[in-house]
Amino acid sequence: MSREEKEPKESEKIAVMATRDGILLKLLISGPCTFLYLLKTCLYFESDSALRQRLAQLIRSGHIKSRSYRDEKTGHKFSLYVLGPAGVRFVVRNKDCTVDEIRNMLPSVHTVAHELVLTDIVRKLRWESDRIGHRLCYYDDPKCRGHRHLLNITGPVSDLMVDITLVDITVPYRLLVEVDMGSVALLEMVDRTLKQEHMVIFICTEQGRIDQLQDAMRGHDKLSDMVFFATAYEFCRQPGGVFGTNFLDLGGSLVSFYPTKRD
């Protein structure tokens, strides 16, 4: 156990009894969250100060971890929050999720924007799995690298691997999710994708990046029915997700996944 994740002292332990505490911790299952997101989503806190005070208590008790960052464009400071060791035990004991579903690594200063988009995507997958009856098991990059053999991963590791079990199909099928913010060279992304054996969904923050990826991947026959694209906005809005988003294929045509069949 790292210095950061040491068990809190007995004097620092608190009981997570209130409904608002459970909701607050459950919001952090999908990954790093900003203070503003927690304030807007957890409506049990009457003010900024009330939420800040409770977060501070949960940090001292080891239920939450936090780190401060500085916005490179504005210079403003902000904090991100994830589950701490005690928080992980609480949500697992409460049967809100399994340990493998928890994303509780605080990002580096260079990957904050990427991780926040990934958190939104995981949150949408959890919402989708809860409401449509299909089981969506997701594994992020660290878990895939740590359990490569166990998860039968043969190609390059993606930002997210999703195993989907439909209600009328017993064998799950796998898709890979790449969060593309334009930081990886196009030729490198094409090369990585050609080495994959499963469907790849590119979630991009800008439509222009989708256009660039499509142009770079056209001409590779293997990718014609294997890669699909959507903006982060389209994927994370309502209904959105895997089954509620109109994806673009390599030729620019709209494609919907099960239960809506492709034309």
Q: What is the pLDDT of residues 105-158, one digit of tens each?
A: 999 999 999 999 999 999 999 888 877 777 888 999 999 998 888 888 988 999
pLDDT score of 45 more than 50: yes
Under the phi-then-psi rule, with left for phi > 0, alpha for psi from -120 to 50, and beta for the rest, what region is 31? Answer: left
Amino acid 15: pLDDT:
52
pLDDT score of 38 more than 60: yes
Distance CA 77, CA 180 (A): 25
> What's this model's pTM, rounded to 2 decimal places?
0.86
| Residues paired with 163 in a beta bridge | 137, 174
CB contact at 8 A, 42 and 51? yes
CB contact at 8 A, 201 and 177? yes
Instruction: Identify the band that residue 260 occupies on the pLDDT scale cut at 50, 70 and 90.
Output: very low
pLDDT score of 262 more than 80: no
Distance CA 132, CA 166 (A): 10
Computed over every residue of the chain, the mean pLDDT equals 87
Amino acid 2: pLDDT:
44
